[in-house]
Structure 1
Amino acid sequence: MNLKFPLLLFSSIPIILAIWYMMRRTLVKFVNPADKQEFIKEKKSQRTIIMLLYVIIILFLAMALATPFGTKKVESKGEVQLKILFDNTTSYSVMDQMRVQTVKERLDKDIPVTFATLASGEQSALGDGVMNNLFRDENVLVVTDGRNNYGKSLQDVILFASALNSTVSVLKQEPIQDDAAVRIIGPEEAVIGTMNEFAIQVNTIGTPPYKLRVMIDNEVVLDTGGTSSKEYTVQRPLAEGYHKVSATLIADDFFEENNEFYKVVRVEPMPKVLLVTKSSTVLESILRDKYVLSTEFSLPRDISGYSAIVLNNIAASDLSKNDISRIADYLAEEGNGLLVVGGKSSFDVGGYDNSMLETLLPVSVGVASQNEGDVTSALVLVDISGSGGEVFMGQRVNVADVGKAIAIQVVDGMSKNDKVGVIAFNEKAHMVQPMEYKRNAPDITNKIASLEAQGGTVISQGLRAAYSFLSDAEGGKNIVVISDGMTQFPIDAYNVAVQASIDGIKVHAIQIGNDAYGKEVMSNIANYGKGLYLSQQDLSSLKVVLGTDDENEDENEVFDLIILDRFNWITQNLDVSGRVTGYNQVIPKSNARTLIATKGANPILTSWRFGLGRVAVISTSPDYWAPILVRKENSRLIPKTTNWVIGDLARNKEFLVEMSDARKGELARVNIISKKTITSDELAFTKVDEDKYKATFIPEKVGFNNLLNTPIAVNYQREYELLGFDESLGEIVSITGGSVFVPGEEEEIVKKIKSSATKLKLETVNQRTPWIIGGIIVYLISLLFRRMMENSNRYKYQKR
């Protein structure tokens, strides 16, 4: 039984106290005290019974006001009919479109069928098409390749269909035409002296023979061929300036539009970096290879010409108040970067505690590991929706069972002295285990294991419940969301995560499976909640954050490193392995991101934004304690961190045109940096900041074009890029109870429609009536009892 307004139960307390007070008072006045005592003694048992009856009445009424409710499964009978939505876009023309009419005619013999166009032309607005044709309790068969490239997300709309109790299935066709499409993936901005890598992706349907030619500035750098999808790699160092990269397919295929792709790369001179160090350091050789490096023993008077400053093992006393003030302006006002590297003369041993320098950094001096008396409070949210008990990863796997197993693993990993709670959620939140010290909740794993999958998915409902329970919790407060991410109303979940983070609650997200849409939702929840996003295979990072790793670092001489946040720009596609023999004692500030730590939760790499600038801290020393950071397997860490703090290489230019590679027929955005006012006959520019302008336009000519004497690349429409059936569509429609069919399975489609016409759905059942009736019955009993007492007293009086 659940209560809609549980706090109203507490309203009974003052009323019961008032009844108790009134029942103890004697309103009859007596001349003789002995008569009064005899009267009280005689009435005591009667008053006690009356009071108990009144208390029961009040409790019954309070329960009725609290509005108890339950849920029950109700059959919802819909009409046996089918709506077919047909994808008439250009990309679907590689399929047998005439066969769809045959499928419709066969279905029409058994059930009523209506037919509508899902989308058409060179924009596959499939999500918009489904939304515009979707109504409650319908059966829909979508004939599409699932390649949505415009408008609403198809995944979001199908999740909405689930909320409407509608079933969406899909008709899968194999292409009858051969085609090959090419695209280039690579940097838009690079630095002189670095090796630039370009991935040339050829995506095919069928087996069209093709020849591929890749050119950089009119020079052929790759000339090859094939008959199937493949990714080719080209690596080239480039000189300063703009460079044109093009890929051309020569193939006898269905579409000519997608046989050429263009890309423009802007190469900037090496940024200037200032290294401030009191002694020789391995950082010098690493930074000199990639930047124009200046090494100084102290901060020079003029730092304006540097893109970033690296402070290596510098004590707070080595920087004057004026130095720190200049660094603060250099960061906040000018948008430059600062990297502070630890050592035996910095941070906890360098006088950083409560210093001016510490105010610039994402860390404070302190001990990061948990003390015996510290408490971690974690509320685990487990997705028990129907999306967790359907088709998953193309196989019949109960994802809810995977989620329960992960939840048990998270709970088992926590200390017995920590507080833990569990909430299961589908469309609503269901309390499984209230917040309690783990040592006092011995049956928590059994409660998790007994959960059953049912209903839809609304993560925000679970988050709201967890947020309310954790608001007043002690110690470090954490919410751990375990779900596949296939939720309705994801924006609501993001908003709750933001509010939780503002109140000091970190929201971590563990994704079940690897669905791309689910990944986007779960990673956004973690990002807005300032927590970690993890896959189900990597829970070690969560143990570190919750302080539950069983490694006792105080007894060790070496400390294992672990990446906590794999989706930050610095750590993305980066592997860090090995051990350090020491570190500086620091703790991250509330708005900072800890990217790498030891398994004992001691931060090693932490970052944040300071005004317009960026600051990162490596709280160990590659010279003393962490030579592993500069060895081959970890050699990208320090350059990537330095690149991140440097940020935009072009921010100090006199004139610059910034524009990503555009698509024909799509809105393109242009940003201009100029010391002079921009005028153009082609575009209308708007000033957005000092020396910054922006404009938008829709390009119509594919190829290399010029804009304000700057080369730009315009490519074919996205409609021609990805062709063939999107296999992930099967997972998505399964949320609504739908299936994937192929032409020839018309009988199975009819059976599915007839079975889907009767659906089970959860309905809320109001349970106030029994409590109201119970209250009335007890009230009548109290009246009867009082009448009996009055008659008894009258009889006694008459006998006297």
Structure 2
Amino acid sequence: MTFDLPYGFNFLHLNELTLLIPLAFLVFLGLWRKINRRHLFVHSLVIFLLILALAAPYSVEISSPETSQSRITIISDESVSMDLLEKGVSGELADDLNTRVPVMVTTISGIHTSLGDAIVQQASPDNYVLVVSDGQSNSGMPVEEALSYCYKNNFPVSALIPKTVKEDLSVEIEGENEAVIDNKAFFKVNIRKSVEDKMSYRVRVTVDHQKVMEREITQTERIESMEFNHTFETLGPHTVKATLHPASISVKNLDYFENNNQYMKSIYVTPKPEVLLVTDEPDSPLAGMMKEIYDVRVSGSFGSLNRTDAVIIDNQAASTISDVETRTLRDYIINGGGMVVVGGSSSFDLPADDTYQGTRFEELLPVSSEPSSWRGGRNVVLMLDVSPSTLQSNGAGRKILDDILSNAIVLLESDLLKDARVDVITFGSTGQDITDGFIDMSKESNKLWLDAEIRKITPSTGDSTSLERGLMTARTLLNGQNKSTEAEIIIVSDGGIGNRAERDLRFERAIQCAENLHEGSGINIHFVHIHTPSVDDLKVTPKGQYYAELFMNKIGLSENYNRIEPGERIKVSFSEDPEESENREDEYSSGSIVVYDPKHFITRNISDVQHDILGYNEVTPRPEANRLVITRLGKPIITVWRLGLGRVAAITTDNGKGHGVPWAASMYSGNDSLIITRTLNWAVADIEMSEGVQLDVPDLKMGQPGRILITTGKKGTPELYFDKKPMEITSIGNNMYESYVTADTFGLHKISETPVEVNLTEELMSENTGVKNVSWRPAAVNCPDEYMYTGENVLFRTAILENGGKVYTKGDVNSKIIEDALTSTKKKILTRVFYTKYFLVLAFLIYLFYTLHHTYNTRMK
């Protein structure tokens, strides 16, 4: 058992310290009996020191013992994409470094780059890994995940990125692989360059071998994008193709690779879905939009749902939906149907005497018809200090890290964050994202997962706390989110954020970074300082002020500084001053709305909703629903979930017409209508190849396995063929399957229920279009990712730096690389230094000198 005292001083045996109680009793007894005070003091001091020696006093030290020179392993990326970069860099490095330290070179080659796998395989505490690469990785473990693993285990990894010396262009088409006949399908063409030099070229886009767009482009930036749309007028398979012209020219000094100058996308055009619209307003903007897209059957009540792909229930009171109809709807949805419920004055929470609340119909919905009690829409980055100082005692029998992690768990379980989107990062010498993006805390499953992940956190083995690195990681995470959403950063730390040396400016840089976040981006910052008995020059300034408190004062957020004692729990509030609160209430009443989840199909690539709404129904999302669009204060507008094989969406504003003043007229016209259109399309059941089978076919890459998702309403594993070869199909859920297919040739391939001829040419596509219920699906195969993403991957530098590594130039060989390698591979070890013998020696000397002094005064004189 251990017993902790201030300043990192500990005792191994607690029971022996109980002997101090009788010692204290004897001292008081001696004072009462008026024994010679000098004699009493000396003997009591000797006994006190002997008791402390019996308790085995010790302290914990972090040391880096001297070791022999460690080796450097150079991971030499010699894959195809590296043809564009300066050659021979790895060999030159090895020759220069070999004279001073052992060097091993391992290579990656071929048309697939598994850079993350190579890093993990070579990383170890004694091995300094130097990656010579463009940072492009397209198979195996993601590079970010590999670097995160190495950082957590103190495996040093750095990089040297050779200069890109050859120009190359690649083209790719983004868009859905399914389209509805006579409806606009939207696509984006991305042209990537390997370097940032000016280059001119021509891009041509064709649909079924017919030109639909051609442009002359002069490009300087690394990526150029252009959007276009096309309306398909015939059913079945089609192709969209983008070509950089001329695609087959001699590429010397102009465009290095030829095979990435064209991209083909296969499109399967389906009939207009048959949709039932249950409404009392058949002339509403919602009804008009639907009639343009679908084969709509308008009714004032529920009829037969046979051959219906989705049901849209527009502003219908609870009293109009019977229990029999609800059971029919449930069976319909569970078996793959779709339903969208649209709000208004007669749905969800209205009218007050006839709401959905507590009805069987409400059980089908992703929301409950009661006011939402949260003011959500908040992104929170929780920064946890895991520097080596958190291993010290908190003075209450535990370590500081225990207080940091337990406070983090308590915070995540509080009502404060129950509806926020949270990302947890740890920071020591670097900042590390442990959640891999923001997660929705309204879902209980996410809470349980994050609780388990936080409990696994271990301290870093770097030499200091770099708050600046953690704030940089938080800034990167928040920059990728909707800018109109409230953002908070909560720092939980022992406060050891000061400078380590006279020329160390990391504290000042942290202040600058925090000021930019708060003043430039409007991000609120909180600091929870866990006060510890151990005080050093990293926690307290020479003037006696806590660095953590000074940090918050400098950025003008002293009110957000909270200092708590070990064992206490976190106290953070997101309260606003009255003026800000009033402004937000005004903004809230105006109906300003934002995209809450930008990764969902419905909201993907939609960064902003331009117009406001004037009203909405009050609802609360269910725990496992996805909240997609909200007001700025978190009121749900579009919420979805899966029910069985089907999909259900709740649009909690009206149909654009309403009674009197419409709530959401702007959302059914212009660019904002895309959200409504996508919601309806998402709910529509997938069109089947033939009875019972539905496919999700992505664009495939040559030599790379592509995942085909299969859903079927029939019992048993479906039988499908890819280019006449039987597909290996695996069950992944109730009536859901997957299969991985690989093709080695560019062009169109086939997935079918019966063996059919392979490699249909683009010229023959027109002969097969316009056929309803075609029993095969096209799959376009393009060049491998190795040719698609060329030149330096700019995110690679960021990943290296954020995970504690460095990025070198060729000139750093002698000046920095060897020095950093030897420093980084020194093992950091924790050792106990015991002081028992010092206490015994001190007690002996005190007793000896006192005895000699007493003998001299009483006998020698």
> How would you bin the TM-score normalised by the shorter chain?
0.5 to 0.7
Map of 2:336 onto structure 1: 334
Q: Secondary structure at the match of 1:258?
A: coil
Q: Say if 1:564 and 1:693 are closer, same or farther in 2 by CA, change over 3 A.
A: closer
Distance between the aligned counterparts of 1:720 and 1:555, measured in 2?
Answer: 48
Does residue 644 in structure 1 map to residue 682 in structure 2? Answer: yes
Distance between the aligned counterparts of 1:706 and 1:380, measured in 2?
Answer: 46
Distance between the aligned counterparts of 2:201 and 2:416, measured in 1?
Answer: 62
State the Cα deviation string for residues 135-172 of structure 1 (Å, max 9, x = none).
21433332211111111222222333334444433222
Does residue 104 in structure 1 map to residue 145 in structure 2? Answer: no
Aligned AA for 1:98? G
Shift of 1:754: 1.8
Distance between the aligned counterparts of 2:692 and 2:413, measured in 1?
Answer: 53
Q: Say if 1:678 and 1:306 are closer, same or farther in 2 by CA, change over 3 A.
A: same
5 Å-filtered alignment, 1:527-606, equals 537=521, 550-551=581-582, 553=585, 558-574=590-606, 575-606=608-639
Aligned AA for 1:716? C
Distance between the aligned counterparts of 2:738 and 2:405, measured in 1?
Answer: 40
Distance between the aligned counterparts of 2:522 and 2:600, measured in 1?
Answer: 16
Task: Point out where structure 2 has 5 or more consecutive residues left out of the alignment.
Answer: 22-31, 34-43, 395-400, 455-469, 482-486, 488-516, 527-572, 757-775, 844-861
Map of 1:352 onto structure 2: 356
Map of 1:316 onto structure 2: 318
Shift of 1:707: 4.0
Mapped contact 2:4–2:393 kept (Cα < 8 A):
no
Map of 1:368 onto structure 2: 372
State the Cα deviation string for residues 495-541 of structure 1 (Å, max 9, x = none).
99876625999999999467599979xxxxx9xxxxxxxx994769x
Map of 2:668 onto structure 1: 630
Query: Which deviates more from structure 2 when the two are superposed, residues 356-365 or residues 497-506?
Result: 497-506
Map of 2:461 onto structure 1: none
Mapped contact 1:343–1:619 kept (Cα < 8 A):
no
Mapped contact 1:84–1:143 kept (Cα < 8 A):
yes
Map of 2:651 onto structure 1: 618
5 Å-filtered alignment, 1:109-508, equals 110-205=99-194, 210-224=201-215, 228=219, 230-238=224-232, 239-248=234-243, 249-253=247-251, 254-279=256-281, 281-300=284-303, 302-344=304-346, 346-348=348-350, 349=352, 350-369=354-373, 382-383=382-383, 424-426=385-387, 465-466=406-407, 468-470=409-411, 477=418, 480-481=422-423, 483=425, 490=434, 501-502=447-448
Shift of 1:662: 1.5
Mapped contact 1:216–1:246 kept (Cα < 8 A):
yes
Distance between the aligned counterparts of 2:668 and 2:453, measured in 1?
Answer: 33
Mapped contact 1:217–1:244 kept (Cα < 8 A):
yes
Aligned AA for 1:330? Y
Distance between the aligned counterparts of 1:295 and 1:752, measured in 2?
Answer: 72
Q: Say if 1:462 and 1:640 are closer, same or farther in 2 by CA, change over 3 A.
A: farther
Shift of 1:318: 0.7
Shift of 1:119: 0.5
Shift of 1:257: 2.7
5 Å-filtered alignment, 1:710-721, equals 710=776, 711-721=778-788
Shift of 1:683: 1.9
Shift of 1:73: 6.6
Map of 1:678 onto structure 2: 719
Query: Which deviates more from structure 2 when the two are superposed, residues 647-656 or residues 114-123?
Result: 647-656
Q: Secondary structure at the match of 2:88?
A: helix
Distance between the aligned counterparts of 2:276 and 2:615, measured in 1?
Answer: 26
TM-score by length of 1: 0.67
State the Cα deviation string for residues 284-329 of structure 1 (Å, max 9, x = none).
11222222222211112x1232222222221111111101111111
Distance between the aligned counterparts of 1:328 and 1:461, measured in 2?
Answer: 48
Shift of 1:557: 5.8
Shift of 1:630: 3.1
Aligned AA for 2:705? L
Distance between the aligned counterparts of 2:347 and 2:640, measured in 1?
Answer: 21
TM-score by length of 2: 0.63
Shift of 1:283: 1.8
Aligned AA for 1:230? E
Q: Secondary structure at the match of 1:582?
A: coil
Q: Say if 1:602 and 1:78 are closer, same or farther in 2 by CA, change over 3 A.
A: farther
State the Cα deviation string for residues 39-67 of structure 1 (Å, max 9, x = none).
xxx99xxxxxxxxx9xxx9xx99xx99x9
Mapped contact 1:683–1:695 kept (Cα < 8 A):
no
Does residue 704 in structure 1 map to residue 752 in structure 2? Answer: no
Q: Say if 1:469 and 1:118 are closer, same or farther in 2 by CA, change over 3 A.
A: same
Task: Point out where structure 1 has 5 or more consecutive residues left out of the alignment.
Answer: 21-41, 44-52, 384-422, 434-459, 521-525, 527-534, 779-800
Distance between the aligned counterparts of 1:241 and 1:380, measured in 2?
Answer: 46
Distance between the aligned counterparts of 2:281 and 2:591, measured in 1?
Answer: 25
State the Cα deviation string for residues 691-718 of structure 1 (Å, max 9, x = none).
8775443212222234434432111222
Residue of 763, 787, 794 corresponding to 1:727: 794
Distance between the aligned counterparts of 2:58 and 2:623, measured in 1?
Answer: 40
Distance between the aligned counterparts of 2:635 and 2:737, measured in 1?
Answer: 44
Mapped contact 1:208–1:251 kept (Cα < 8 A):
no
Distance between the aligned counterparts of 1:297 and 1:772, measured in 2?
Answer: 93
Mapped contact 2:62–2:831 kept (Cα < 8 A):
no
Aligned AA for 1:661? D
Q: Secondary structure at the match of 1:93?
A: helix
Shift of 1:679: 6.6
Q: Secondary structure at the match of 1:594?
A: strand
Residue of 807, 811, 819 corresponding to 1:754: 819
Distance between the aligned counterparts of 1:431 and 1:596, measured in 2?
Answer: 45
Aligned AA for 2:236? G
Q: Secondary structure at the match of 2:592?
A: strand
Q: Secondary structure at the match of 1:85?
A: strand
Map of 2:561 onto structure 1: none
Matched pairs, number: 654
Q: Secondary structure at the match of 1:303?
A: coil
Q: CA RMSD in A?
A: 5.4
Mapped contact 1:258–1:720 kept (Cα < 8 A):
yes
Distance between the aligned counterparts of 2:591 and 2:61, measured in 1?
Answer: 52
State the Cα deviation string for residues 770-798 of structure 1 (Å, max 9, x = none).
89999xx99xxxxxxxxxxxxxxxxxxxx
